Amino acid sequence: MDKIDFTGRVAIVTGAGGGLGRLHALALAERGAKVVVNDLGGAVDGSGGSVTAAQKVVDEIRAAGGEAIANRASVTDWDAVQAMVQQAVDTWGRVDILVNNAGILRDKSFAKMDMADFRLVVDVHLMGAAHCAKAVWPHMVAQKYGRIVMTTSSTGLYGNFGQTNYGAAKLAQVGMMQTLAIEGAKNGIHVNALAPTAATRMTEGLLPPEVLAALKPEAVVPAMLVLASEQAPTRTILCAGAGTYEAAHITLTQGVHLGLTPDTPERLLAALAQVTDGTGQTVPQSGAEQGSNELGKALAARG
């Protein structure tokens, strides 16, 4: 069995002042990584800010014999994120791992949601992840090695009432992962997504106490360690909660060729059950595979 070891590696974990991010940072450090502990130090809704949260985690890592530095950049601030990555490079000479964990909640039903709250959640989760990935990318390309972990969510993958903003941002991270994994392959950059189910500050008001007790955030950390490791897969959505680990896939059904005639809309409506049938579905390795499937069926129909 391969041992997961981060000796000599440098990791950046965003939103690491508490909850899952803190546990991610501690676990990486325990296995040898030097860690930039990033946290704005704000409330769950993104308001406020303090360096105290990040520094406390740094102190924990150092007390256990590890190496860490604190950073309180907002991931929404491109200049601050660039400075954070440069801080890591100036301190330790490289950046090997990025765990995009920072996030906020502004939950409301879509009918009642203020669009400013929608935009802010997207800015933190999606643009924050994009800023951090963009800032580490040239360093990872130059060293021909990198591991980027996006934090997606079951809300993004499958939906959840009152979280249109959060769900949209979280599934968008999966879309970013899909293309970054393709673009990074030639330079040894693996990009994956983690969908955690855990009791944290962001979920404590949403779930009953007995459920929260079962969903210890510690049980999510092994999945992050796998996705950040040298042995990591790429383009994988790993789900984790309560000691159970699954993978989520965006699949493509075999579909049906109907051609294009005036009554195609009606024939498509009648054939929807066959079109959506999961028998023989595939996991495309690029967007081009959808077009290949469609064209293949069209050419076969002509023959």
CA torsion 236→241→246→247, rounded to 10°?
A: -30
Q: What is the pLDDT of residue 50?
A: 63
pLDDT at residue number 215: 87
At residue 203, the pLDDT reads 62
At residue 241's C-alpha, the angle toward residues 136 and 152, to 5°, is 35
- Name which residue leads in pLDDT, 238 or 201: 238
Q: Quote the pLDDT of residue 57.
A: 98
pLDDT of 214 reads 80
CB distance 150 to 176 below 8 Å: yes
pLDDT band at residue 26, thresholds of 50, 70 and 90?
very high
Specify the pLDDT at position 140. 99
Domain with CATH 3.40.50.720 in the chain: 10-248
Q: Tell me the pTM.
A: 0.93
- Is the pLDDT at 269 greater than 90, yes or no? yes
pLDDT recorded at residue 41? 82
Pairing of strands 68-71, 97-100: unpaired
List pLDDT tens digits, range 70-113: 999 999 999 999 999 999 999 999 999 999 999 999 999 999 99
User: Pairing between strand 10-13 and 97-100?
Assistant: parallel
User: What does the pLDDT look like over 176-200, one tens digit per residue?
Assistant: 999 999 999 999 999 999 999 987 6
Q: Which fold has domain 10-248?
A: Rossmann fold (3.40.50)
Across the chain, mean pLDDT equals: 94
Across the range 41-50, mean pLDDT stands at 64
What string of DSSP letters covers 59-124?
Answer: HHHHHTT--EEEE---TT-HHHHHHHHHHHHHHHS---EEEE---------TTT--HHHHHHHHII
CA 197/CA 300 separation, integer angstroms:
44
Active site positions, annotated: 166
The rounded distance, in Å, linking the Cα atoms of 238 and 233 is: 10
What local confidence, expressed as pLDDT, does residue 208 receive? Answer: 78
* Euclidean distance between CA atoms 188 and 65, whole angstroms: 30
**Of 53-62, 204-213, 294-303, minimum mean pLDDT range:** 204-213
Closest CA to 77 of 134, 21, 20, 36: 134
Q: pLDDT value at position 213?
A: 79
| Over residues 169-181, mean pLDDT | 98
